[in-house]
Structure 1
Amino acid sequence: MSQQKLVSMAEENKAFADEMNKALAKSEGFTLKDLLFSYRGTPYPVTVCSAETFQALENLEARRDDMVLVSYPKCGVNWLIQILNDLIFTTIQSKPVSAELPFIECGDPDKYQRMKQIPSPRILATHLNYDFLPKSIFKSKAKILVLFRNPKDTAVSFFHFHKNVPSVPSYNSWDEFFSEFMNGKVGWGSYFDHAVTWNKHIEDENTMIVIYEDLKENLTSGVKQIAEFFGFSPTAEQIQSIADRATFQAVKNKAQETHGAVGTVLFRKGVVGDWKNLFTEAQNQEMDAKFKACLEGTKLGAKLKYDVYCKA
């Protein structure tokens, strides 16, 4: 990769890290009770979201070549953002540096005006449910890549995020967090509501579902699939080097540079099956029953390979 590209990647990383640090600094002094506010029935963190921003989000003007990345929190979307940025840098000769947080629902209400200045292709990341995405995304026929991770590891990763980020208020115990997670009382609401809604749109044109565990298992094949979906044509060699730069360890090693102080927490372990260290037998049964009720027999349920990754 050329020196010029490395410099612009470093600039982009710095801009992203600065925004992340600013957002997290706002969490200082909050209690859990004050951390979340409700908008259209879903809880969101007051530190990065606001009702005003949600109202302004409807004015987002999506473009046909926007790359929309969707995931529930702690399913690996920051990893995907890195991969996509690398794909753009590798295949397009230059990429404009953006100082906006890529999460469309996070930030101030004026960001949508500023986003008009960002040249294409833009990465629009979000943790939002299908029903809450701005209509222009569907009208523009932008491509939507949805990332899912098994619910047990997602819950454990979310718990550790609260526990390990110094400024984010933490739960008293895993048991307390688990109960809130199962009741959809955590930031961005219920994992299962999110999954059920996206499952309804799994066959939609312009939508592709990728699974975190599949990416972990064969990153090279995942990068190739993602490149094809968004219309990039990297060489086999380029795909391999993007995959090499995107292994969990490689990303974690550079996390402070790319994501600021929170980097090492965002990329904590990245392993599959970490839930076995925290789940009790009762919690296993509760989540198994919830999965069965919400996703068993669905296309998304099959893709998640629940029996492989979530059975003790």
Structure 2
Amino acid sequence: MSRSRERVIEVVENSFSESGKVSPEDLLFSYKGILYPATLSSPETLEALKSFETRSDDVFLAGYPKTGTNWLGQMVMDLESTDAKYTEEEMKERINAEKMLEMFPRLEFGDPGIYERMKKLPSRRIIQTHLPPHLLPPSVLQSKAKILVLFRNPKDTAVSYYHFYNNMPLLPSFTSWDEYFAAFMNGKLAWGSYFDHLVEWNKYIDHEGIMMINYEELKEDQVLGMKKIAAFFGFSLSEEDFSRIAEKASFQAMKEKSRETHGKFGDILFRKGVVGNWREFFSKAQSEEMDQKFEDCLGGTKLATKMKYDVYCKVSK
């Protein structure tokens, strides 16, 4: 387990005991109109992020919260390490480097000095983020580094984020699903509006250095999805490698080991990981409201077609 994950576990588990001492309004801060968890980041950190220096071989993974980014991150780390054929000693050195440099598993987490320390990390760096394109460091989109963007249908994303919000002591809770739904639709959550994220990323759908993949696509055929990801990043693996990683990095396998890999955080992080759970929460009016919102924001776009909204989000008649 990398030190970056250990650090988040440490912060989250400390917050369980400290959560009652922090008022809900102090759990989040606003930066450029978007909310972020105050325990994990700060305006100073996000300002310092502008100077981040991208390497051409960096591997970036982007996605709105609760779209499957932890699952994707495990897959990509396994694909990358298999391709690189690290020895056991090399893996220890990489993990120790993260420990020494006090890394976090998201680009926007940590103290303002973290980006200077990241310069000392060995390549290839796998960098994950929930940030939208306009808040990424300028060097990211200007470099030859590749970005893999993960999407999940908005209704399942909303439900997953609702449970995460109410179980995560770093975030303020909601008194009801209806109260949360209004916040989700208006982008009044940590990392802002789901729909704004999609609208922004849609502008880059034809960018040669960016690949977009759906959570639902990965759930339907994880091996095929991983083969597409490996081809995009230039990773070379055998059929046996893909099968082994798919078994190890399945959602169920990660959930079963979550206590071991993520501590108490595992219970919050890995819930159901299924497609269609939104039907248990959305009222007919809420479902129709989100259908209209999606149409208003992304109707007719390439991204909307790729996401198969009608398949995953429309009520069967």
Structure-1-length-normalised TM-score:
0.92
Deviations 1:105-141 (A, max 9, x none): 0111111111111101111111111111001112322
Shift of 1:85: 1.2
Letter in 1 for 2:239: A
Q: 1:71 to 1:171 in 2, by over 3 A?
A: same
Shift of 1:260: 2.5
1:51 to 26, 43, 46: 43
CA distance in 2 between partners of 1:238 and 1:304 (Å): 28
Deviations 1:158-217 (A, max 9, x none): 000022235543110111111011110000000000000000111011000000000000
1:164 to 159, 162, 167: 167
Letter in 1 for 2:286: Q
Pair 1:219-2:222 in alignment: yes
List gaps (5 residues or longer) in structure 2.
Answer: none
Q: 1:102 to 1:166 in 2, by over 3 A?
A: closer
Letter in 1 for 2:61: L
1:88 to 80, 95, 99: 80
- Whether the 8 Å contact between 2:83 and 2:236 is mirrored in structure 1 is yes
- Residue correspondence of structure 1 range 135-146 to structure 2 within 5 A: 135-146=138-149
CA distance in 2 between partners of 1:150 and 1:222 (Å): 17
Pair 1:22-2:22 in alignment: no
List gaps (5 residues or longer) in structure 1.
Answer: 1-9
Shift of 1:36: 1.9
Q: 1:269 to 1:31 in 2, by over 3 A?
A: farther
Pair 1:298-2:283 in alignment: no
CA distance in 2 between partners of 1:200 and 1:89 (Å): 31
Moved more, 81-90 or 69-78: 81-90
Give the aligned CA root-mean-square deviation in angstroms.
Answer: 1.4
Secondary structure in 1 matching 2:62: strand
Name the structure 2 match of 1:7: none
1:247 to 246, 250, 259: 250
Pair 1:210-2:202 in alignment: no
Deviations 1:283-312 (A, max 9, x none): 111101100100111011111111111112
Pair 1:276-2:279 in alignment: yes
CA distance in 2 between partners of 1:285 and 1:72 (Å): 22
Deviations 1:36-87 (A, max 9, x none): 2211111112121210000110121110010000000000111111011111
2:133 to 122, 130, 135: 130
- Whether the 8 Å contact between 2:132 and 2:200 is mirrored in structure 1 is yes
Name the structure 2 match of 1:69: 61
Name the structure 1 match of 2:28: 36
- Whether the 8 Å contact between 1:102 and 1:123 is mirrored in structure 2 is no
Moved more, 224-233 or 88-97: 88-97
CA distance in 2 between partners of 1:92 and 1:74 (Å): 29
CA distance in 2 between partners of 1:223 and 1:134 (Å): 27
Name the structure 2 match of 1:308: 311
- Whether the 8 Å contact between 2:37 and 2:171 is mirrored in structure 1 is no
- Whether the 8 Å contact between 1:16 and 1:258 is mirrored in structure 2 is no
Shift of 1:265: 1.6
- Whether the 8 Å contact between 1:64 and 1:141 is mirrored in structure 2 is yes
Name the structure 2 match of 1:4: none
Deviations 1:137-161 (A, max 9, x none): 1232210000000000001000000
Name the structure 2 match of 1:5: none
CA distance in 1 between partners of 2:66 and 2:156 (Å): 9
Moved more, 182-191 or 237-246: 237-246
Q: 1:177 to 1:32 in 2, by over 3 A?
A: farther
Letter in 1 for 2:9: N
Secondary structure in 2 matching 1:28: helix
CA distance in 2 between partners of 1:138 and 1:200 (Å): 12
- The share of aligned pairs that are identical, in percent, is 53
- Whether the 8 Å contact between 1:223 and 1:242 is mirrored in structure 2 is no
CA distance in 1 between partners of 2:110 and 2:248 (Å): 29
CA distance in 2 between partners of 1:230 and 1:256 (Å): 31
Letter in 2 for 1:28: S
CA distance in 2 between partners of 1:76 and 1:31 (Å): 29
1:257 to 257, 260, 273: 260
CA distance in 1 between partners of 2:311 and 2:23 (Å): 37
Moved more, 94-103 or 156-165: 94-103
CA distance in 2 between partners of 1:23 and 1:139 (Å): 33
